[in-house]
C-alpha cells in the first residue's frame, strides 16, 4: 500500500503545476461532497414527522406561475371567451355541442382527438372497445360530444353510408353499438336565387340547416356568404338517404354559385374534401406559428387545467409564447379581423376569422395594427406583442378554434394548399364530368 502511495505521489509531483492545482481542487471537492450530510433537527419530544405541505395565500400563487403566462388563479371573463357569431353559424338543437371531423391523410384516432385535448385514457378505452378504430380511412367522418367537465361522452364513427358505430361512455369504459342504414340513396338538385339572405333562400329551396352548413363550409374559401347580393344564384347536388319516404341523412356532392356574373364550384372527392373543377384544393394554407421565428412555450394548451385555489377546472385554451414586447404578431392565414380592441383580462387582443371553420385569437398585445372588418393575408402584421391585461410577464397568448371549439395550436391539423394528383385526380375529373352538368340554374 505504501509503495502504491509513493508511486501516486511521484506521478502527481511530475505533473505540470496547473494540472496539479486542478487535480487537487477536484479531489478536495469530491471528498467534501462525499462526506457532507445536512443537519436536520428532529425534536425528540415530537413523534410526528415534520409537516410536508406548505399552504399558500391566494395572492402568493402568482409568483409561482410559469414566467410569462396568465395567472391561473383567475379566469378570463365571458366577453373574451365569446367568438363573434352570425346567422351563418346557427346550428340546430341536435347539432349544438357536436364536434365533427373528416379523416384525412395521416390521421389516427389518437392524433384527431388529442388536438382537442381529449384525455389519452379515453382514447385508449375507445380503441379497446373496438380495435377497428385503429384503421380509420380517408373520407370517413367522426363526431363526438363532451361532458361539462370536458371528458368524452359519446363518439360516432360513420364507417360508410351503410354503417355507423356509436361509442357511449359507461362506468367501465365505452360501449359500442352499430346501426345499419337500410334506406336508398337518391340524388337531388336544389337551386334558387338569393333574396334577403343566402340562409333564408336556401331553406326556401328545400335545404335543411345541416345541408346549408355543409354548403357554406365547402365554399368558405371562395365566397363570403354575407356579401352575396340579391339575384345571385346557387345550385346544390345532394345525395339523400330515403327510408319509408322520409329523409334520414344526406351528403353534399357538389355546389355551384354564381355571384356578380362569375361561377364558383366545389366538388366533393373520395377523400371527403372539396376541390375546384381542376382538382385544385380550395383551402388556404396556414402558418403553424404567429411569429416569424419560434419562441419558448411558457404555458401549454390544457383544457383540464385546475385552479389551485378552488380546485375547479380553469381551461387554458391556447398556448403562451414568452417573447420580448414589440415582437411583430402575424396572421397565420387569410381571413377577416372580427375583433381588435382592449379587454380587461386579455389586454389588447385580435381575433381573425378564416373562412367559416377556423378562428385564431391573439392576446396581451401592446399595439393593434388592424381594425374590425379588415381583410388580412397570411403573414400580415396584425399587432405587436406586449404584456397587457392579466399577465405574469411579456408573452403572446395564441388560440386556434375549429368549428367553435378550441384546439391545441401546436398539434391541430391546419389547412394547407393542396391538390389531387395521379390516379386520384383522374378519378376526380371523371366525377366532375358527371356532377357539373347537373348543377344547372333553372
Q: 367-415, pLDDT tens digit by residue?
A: 999 999 999 999 999 999 999 998 888 999 999 998 888 899 998 888 8
Using DSSP bridges, classify how beta strands 395-402 and 328-330 pair: parallel, antiparallel or unpaired. Answer: unpaired
Q: Which residue has the higher pLDDT, 119 or 42?
A: 119
CATH class of 38-80+285-414: mainly beta
pLDDT of residue 115: 87
Distances (CA, A) of 223 to 254, 306, 335, 350: 15, 41, 12, 23
User: Which residues share a beta bridge with 186?
Assistant: 240
**Pairwise CA distance, residues 167 & 129, whole Å:** 8
Distances (CA, A) of 148 to 151, 304, 312: 7, 11, 12
pLDDT category at 262 given cuts 50, 70, 90 is very high
Cell triple for residue 405?
371549439
Residue 62 clears pLDDT 90, i.e. is over it? no
Contacts of 432 (CB under 8 A, 6+ apart): 267, 277, 279
Mean pLDDT computed over 319-331: 95
Architecture of domain 98-180: Roll (3.10)
Residue 161 clears pLDDT 80, i.e. is over it? no
pLDDT of residue 205: 93
* Segment holding 219, helix H or strand E: helix 209-219
**Pairwise CA distance, residues 386 & 203, whole Å:** 46
Predicted TM-score (pTM) of this structure? 0.73
pLDDT of residue 35: 44
pLDDT of residue 179: 84
**Pairwise CA distance, residues 25 & 29, whole Å:** 6
84 exposure class (CB count in 10 Å sphere: 0-12, 13-18, 19+):
exposed
Print burial letters for 203-241: b (CB count within 10 Å at least 16), e (below 16). eebebebebbbbbbbbbbbbbebeebeeebbbbbbbbbb
Q: What is the mean pLDDT of the chain?
A: 81
pLDDT above 90 covers what percent of the chain?
Answer: 43
The CATH code of domain 184-283+420-438 reads: 3.10.450.350
E-strand stretches of 222-346: 233-243, 246-259, 262-268, 274-275, 297-299, 319-322, 328-330, 335-343
Lowest mean pLDDT among 175-184, 197-206, 393-402, 404-413: 175-184
Cell triple for residue 319?
398556448
The conformation of residue 320, written as its DSSP 8-state character, comes to E
Amino acid at each position: 500500500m505504501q509503495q502504491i502511495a509513493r508511486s501516486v505521489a511521484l506521478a502527481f509531483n511530475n505533473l505540470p503545476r496547473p494540472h496539479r492545482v486542478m487535480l487537487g481542487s477536484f479531489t478536495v471537492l469530491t471528498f467534501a461532497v462525499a462526506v457532507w450530510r445536512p443537519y436536520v433537527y428532529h425534536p425528540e419530544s415530537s413523534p410526528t414527522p415534520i409537516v410536508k405541505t406548505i399552504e399558500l395565500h391566494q395572492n402568493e400563487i402568482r409568483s409561482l406561475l410559469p414566467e410569462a403566462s396568465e395567472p391561473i388563479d383567475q379566469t378570463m371573463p365571458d366577453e373574451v371567451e365569446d367568438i363573434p357569431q352570425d346567422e351563418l353559424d346557427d346550428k340546430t338543437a341536435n347539432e349544438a355541442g357536436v364536434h365533427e371531423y373528416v379523416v384525412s391523410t395521416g390521421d389516427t384516432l389518437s392524433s384527431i382527438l388529442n388536438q382537442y385535448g381529449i384525455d389519452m385514457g379515453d382514447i385508449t378505452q375507445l380503441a379497446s372497445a373496438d380495435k377497428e378504430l385503429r384503421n380509420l380511412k380517408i373520407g370517413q367522418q367522426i363526431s363526438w360530444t363532451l361532458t361539462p367537465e370536458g371528458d368524452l361522452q359519446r363518439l360516432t364513427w360513420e364507417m360508410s353510408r351503410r354503417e355507423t358505430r356509436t361509442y357511449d361512455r359507461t362506468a367501465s369504459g365505452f360501449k359500442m353499438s352499430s346501426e345499419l342504414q337500410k334506406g336508398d340513396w337518391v340524388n337531388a338538385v336544389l337551386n334558387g336565387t338569393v333574396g334577403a339572405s343566402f340562409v333564408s333562400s336556401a331553406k326556401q329551396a328545400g335545404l335543411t340547416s345541416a345541408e346549408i352548413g355543409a354548403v357554406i363550409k365547402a365554399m368558405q374559401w371562395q365566397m363570403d356568404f354575407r356579401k352575396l347580393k340579391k339575384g345571385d344564384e346557387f345550385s346544390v347536388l345532394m345525395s339523400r338517404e330515403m327510408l319509408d319516404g322520409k329523409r334520414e341523412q344526406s351528403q353534399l356532392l357538389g355546389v355551384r354559385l354564381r355571384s356578380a356574373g362569375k361561377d364558383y364550384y366545389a366538388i366533393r372527392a373520395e377523400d371527403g374534401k372539396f376541390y375546384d373543377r381542376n382538382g385544385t384544393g380550395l383551402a388556404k394554407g396556414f402558418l403553424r406559428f404567429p411569429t416569424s421565428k419560434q419562441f419558448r412555450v411558457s404555458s401549454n394548451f390544457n383544457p383540464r387545467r385546475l385552479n389551485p385555489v378552488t380546485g375547479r377546472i380553469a381551461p387554458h385554451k391556447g398556448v403562451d409564447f414568452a417573447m420580448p414586447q414589440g415582437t411583430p404578431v402575424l396572421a397565420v392565414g387569410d381571413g377577416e379581423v372580427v375583433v381588435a380592441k382592449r379587454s380587461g383580462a386579455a389586454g389588447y387582443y385580435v381575433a381573425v376569422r378564416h373562412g367559416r371553420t377556423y378562428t385564431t385569437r391573439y392576446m396581451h398585445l401592446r399595439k393593434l395594427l388592424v381594425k374590425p372588418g379588415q381583410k388580412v393575408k397570411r403573414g400580415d402584421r396584425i399587432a405587436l406583442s406586449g404584456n397587457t391585461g392579466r399577465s405574469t410577464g411579456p408573452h403572446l397568448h395564441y388560440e386556434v378554434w375549429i368549428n367553435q371549439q378550441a384546439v391545441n395550436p401546436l398539434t391541430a391539423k391546419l389547412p394547407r394548399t393542396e391538390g389531387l394528383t395521379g390516379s386520384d385526380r383522374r378519378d376526380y375529373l371523371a366525377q366532375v364530368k358527371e356532377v357539373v352538368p347537373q348543377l344547372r340554374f333553372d
